[in-house]
Amino acid sequence: MAGGGFARLPDGSVIVALSLPSPPGGGGAPGSRVRVLVHAVNRQRALTRLRNLGLRAVYLRGNTEPPTPDEISAVLYHPDGLVWRSVTERETAGWRPIRRLLRPRTLGAA
C-alpha cells in the first residue's frame, strides 16, 4: 500500500509519515502521491486522526520511510500537527494544512 514510518520524540510522542495516493477531488494532482505527516501521542492515535478525516484505509506497516529531520520540524511547528505536500514537490514546495488536501476542488478554479 503506502510507504511510511515513524519517529519517537524525546517526550514520548511520535511523528508518523505516510506516502498516500492523492484523494479524488482533493488538493493534490489526480493520480499523484502525497506525503502526510502527523504528530500524536502514539502511532495508533496518529492513524486515528487520519481516519477521522476520511482517510479510512490508512495503515502503517513497518518503518521503511521514517520522517526526515526537516519533516519532523515542519509538523512540530504547524499548529494542527497535521500537514501534507505532493511527493513530486518534495524539495520545492512548502507544507500545507491537511484541510487543503481534503477539500473538494471547485470547477474552473485555477
What is the chain's pLDDT, residue by residue, as a tens digit (110 residues)?
468 999 999 999 999 999 888 765 555 566 678 889 999 999 999 999 988 888 777 888 889 999 999 999 999 998 888 998 887 765 656 787 776 666 554 444 44
And the C-alpha cell for 90? Answer: 518534495
And the C-alpha cell for 104? Answer: 473538494
Sheet holding 96-97, edge to edge: 4-8, 14-21, 33-40, 82-86, 96-97
- What's the CA gap between 102 and 49, in Å, rounded? 13
